[in-house]
Amino acid sequence: MNYCNVQVNNPHNSTHVPENVNVTGGMTCAPYPVVQSDLSLQLYYNGESYAYDDSYLSDVYVNPVQAATPCLSGNYYATIEFWIYFGPTWTPSTWDSEVTSPVVAITC
Amino acid sequence: MEGDTEVRRRIGLLDGAPPGATTDPDRSGLSDLITLVRVMGGITNTYYVGLYDNIPRGRAEELDRIVAENQLVQRLPETSGVQLWTGVSSSKLAPSRLEGSPAEATFRSAIETSEPAVKPTTFGLYTSTRVQEPEVSAWRLYLETYGGSLFPKPWRTYELTVTRGARIYEIPNAQAWVELVQRYPVTRADLVYPDWKEISHTYDGVRLTWPAIIAIQGIRLAIGEQFIADGYWDAETTLWLNWPFTGVHPIQA
């Protein structure tokens, strides 16, 4: 049984640190932690890879990822590739996939 | 208006969140706040792409009525009132960021404001109310959830002692936000913004509570025939327009 959710939010203008494009996302699992989780976040600008973050955590409920970069006007999207190991007693014991945000137009 | 639909959507996310939002057993009492931070922090100026054609619009009275039904908001504990400020390390993404403790000498008041902004970044100071000893505030939980490269560690939290006579405009709901902007408006490109410079003559700080943030974040509220620009507060916040503090004390976590 898969009890986790992996979400990538839409890239956006940072309102806390202006003049940057920010993207957040991550894994949330409940009501149990997972044994291992590996997430890779890519932020794309006009189709080209522009910023990156990854996070490998063990025995956690959540595994957040975030990437930011100086803002250039254009089209952005983000992907998270992930691999989760629930533990040997779970069937299936792992889950790997990719989630992708819609393409959003950002003006700086 | 689509604002009603959107606020109902986020209420559903808040009330439908599974238990166990915390990773730390010592923070089990913070589960609701962590859920709030996670949901509201995801509502950005592009989150509506794929959901709505434009930034949702709404009327404050109706949005407040919807938020009042939110079970999670009703469960939130009374706040301590103690104001915390968390400093982060320097980053090439924020070259003008000052490090160290907040200080009156480096504080920039709203008098120096220029471009209209719902949530200004060129003046003032943002604090968030302590929700758990010693250093946990909604903003601190936001940093833990969404901080990353924009807010590099190490983080250092300070307790700010507010002078007894400080003038604070409390915003418990969307209607109070509209009333503030209606009293102190500045219009730019067909959108209405709060005139922070004028507000600072009457108030030292403006506090955005959780119910207000749920109702107004990412929504353009009707104000007469016009609309207030959408803002993104993310966490319970007080914006200080003047320096009403008598003490700044680092917290040893």
> What ipTM was estimated for this complex?
0.86
Mean pLDDT of A10-33: 92
* CA–CA min distance B206, chain A (Å): 17
pLDDT surpassing 80 at residue A1: no
Strands (E), chain A: 4-8, 12-13, 20-29, 34-45, 48-60, 62-70, 74-85, 94-100, 104-106
Of B38, B149, B150, the CB nearest to A16: B150
pLDDT surpassing 80 at residue B13: yes
DSSP designation for A93: S
Interface residues of chain B, partner chain A, Cβ below 8 Å: 18-23, 38, 41-42, 44-47, 49-50, 91, 93-94, 119, 121, 145-151, 231-232, 234
Q: Which two tokens stand for residue B165?
A: 């006579």
Label the pairing between strands A74-85 and B125-132: unpaired
- Could you identify the residue written with the tokens 């003008």? B96
- How far apart, in whole angstroms, are the C-alpha atoms of residue B113 and residue B249? 28
Residue A33 DSSP SS3: coil
- How far apart, in whole angstroms, are the C-alpha atoms of residue B42 and residue A76? 16
pLDDT surpassing 90 at residue B76: no
Mean pLDDT of B141-167: 93
pLDDT surpassing 60 at residue B21: no
Residue A62 DSSP SS3: strand
DSSP designation for B184: S
Please, which pLDDT band fits residue B80 given cuts at 50, 70 and 90?
confident
String of DSSP letters for B104-148 = TTT---GGG--S--SS-SSS-EEEEEEEETTTEEHHHHHHHHH-G
- For each of the domains in chain A, give its residue range(s) and CATH number, in order of start: 4-106 (2.60.40.2550)
pLDDT surpassing 70 at residue B224: yes
Residue A92 DSSP SS3: coil
Q: What is the pTM assigned to this prediction?
A: 0.92
Residue whose C-alpha is closest to residue B42's, from A54, A8, A79, A4: A8
- How far apart, in whole angstroms, are the C-alpha atoms of residue B242 and residue A6? 42
Higher pLDDT, B133 or A59: A59
Q: What is the pLDDT of residue B163?
A: 95
How many CA atoms within 13 Å lie on the side-chain side of B224? 10
Mean pLDDT of B43-58: 91
Q: Are B134 and B253 in contact (CB under 8 A)?
A: yes
Helix H or strand E encompassing B56? none
Interface residues of chain A, partner chain B, Cβ below 8 Å: 7, 9-18, 20, 22, 24, 28, 30-31, 33, 53, 60-62, 64-70, 102, 104, 106
Q: Are B44 and A12 in contact (CB under 8 A)?
A: yes
Q: CB–CB of A15 and B232 under 8 A?
A: yes
* Cα dihedral B41, A32, B15, B34 in deg (nearest 10): -30
Cis peptide upstream of residue A102 (ω within 30 degrees of 0): no
Q: Which two tokens stand for residue A62?
A: 């959540």
Q: What is the pLDDT of residue B100?
A: 85
Residues of B within 8 A of A33 (CB-CB) are 23
